[in-house]
Amino acid sequence: MGLQLLEDQAESARALLAPEVLSYYDAGAGDEVTRVESEPAWAGFRLRPRVLRDVETVSTATTAAGVALAHPVGVAPMAFHALADRDGEVATAQGAGRSGALLVLSTRSSRSLEDVAAAASGPWWFQVYVMKDRRLTESLVRRAAAAGAGALVLTGDTPYVGLKRRVSGTRLAVPDDHFLVNLAAHAVPGQSITAQRAAAEQDPAVDLSTIRWLAEVSGLPVLVKGVLRGDDAVACLEAGASGVVVSNHGGRQLDRALPSALALAEVAGAVAGRGAVLVDGGLRSGTDVLVALALGADAVLLGRPVLWALASGGADGVAACVGAVRSHLEHVMALAGACRLDQLGPDLVVAPRAPG
* Residue 338, CA atoms < 13 Å, CB-side half-sphere: 23
351 binds a copy of itself (CB under 8 A): yes
Annotated catalytic residue within 71, 81, 186, 249:
249
CB of 104 to a copy of itself, least distance (A): 17
Q: Residue 348 Cβ, how far from a copy of itself at the closest point, in Å? A: 9
**Size of residue set near a copy of itself by CB under 8 A:** 72
Q: Which of 73, 76, 113, 227 binds a copy of itself (CB under 8 A)?
A: 227
How far apart CA 307 and CA 329 sit, in angstroms, is 20
* Window of 69-77, 84-92, 137-145, 228-236 that interacts with a copy of itself by CB under 8 A: 228-236
Q: Would residue 240 be called left, alpha or beta, if left means φ above 0 and alpha means ψ between -120 and 50 degrees? A: left
Instruction: Determine the Cα–Cα distance for residues 239 and 133; give it in Å rounded to an integer.
Output: 22
**Nearest-angstrom CA–CA distance, 179 and 196:** 11
Q: Rule CB under 8 A: is residue 30 a binding residue for a copy of itself? A: yes
151 closest CA partner among 305, 9, 278, 338: 278
- Contact segment (CB under 8 A) with a copy of itself among 90-98, 134-142, 179-187, 253-261 equals 253-261
Residues 146-185 that bind a copy of itself (CB under 8 A): 154, 156-157, 159-160, 162-163, 165, 168
Residue 228 Cα distances to 234, 244, 260, 267, angstroms? 11, 9, 7, 7
**Interface with a copy of itself (CB under 8 A), residue from 258, 279, 318, 319:** 258
Quick check: 229 binds a copy of itself (CB under 8 A)? yes
Contact map string, positions 32 to 71, toward a copy of itself, x by CB under 8 A: -x---------xxxxxxxxxxxxxx---------------
71 a catalytic residue? no
CB burial readout 300-333, b (16+ within 10 A) else e: bbbbbbbbbbbbbbbbbbbbbbbbbbbbbbbbbb
Is residue 199 at the binding interface for a copy of itself, with CB under 8 A as the rule? no
Alpha carbons 8 and 14: distance in angstroms, whole number: 10
Binding to a copy of itself by CB under 8 A, coded x per residue (else -) over 311-350, reads: -----------------x--xx-xxxx---------x--x
Say whether residue 254 binds a copy of itself (CB under 8 A).
Answer: yes
Tell me the closest approach of the beta carbon of residue 190 to a copy of itself, in angstroms.
Answer: 28
- 194 binds a copy of itself per the rule CB under 8 A: no
CB 6 within 8 A of CB 305: yes
HEC letters along 284-353: CCHHHHHHHHHCCCCEEEECHHHHHHHHHHHHHHHHHHHHHHHHHHHHHHHHCCCCCHHHCCHHHEECCC
Give the C-alpha separation, 115 to 52, whole Å. Answer: 49
Looking only at residues 97 through 156 of this chain, which bind a copy of itself when binding is defined by CB under 8 A? 154, 156
**Nearer to a copy of itself (CB atom), residue 131 or residue 228:** 228
Residues annotated catalytic, as ranges: 249
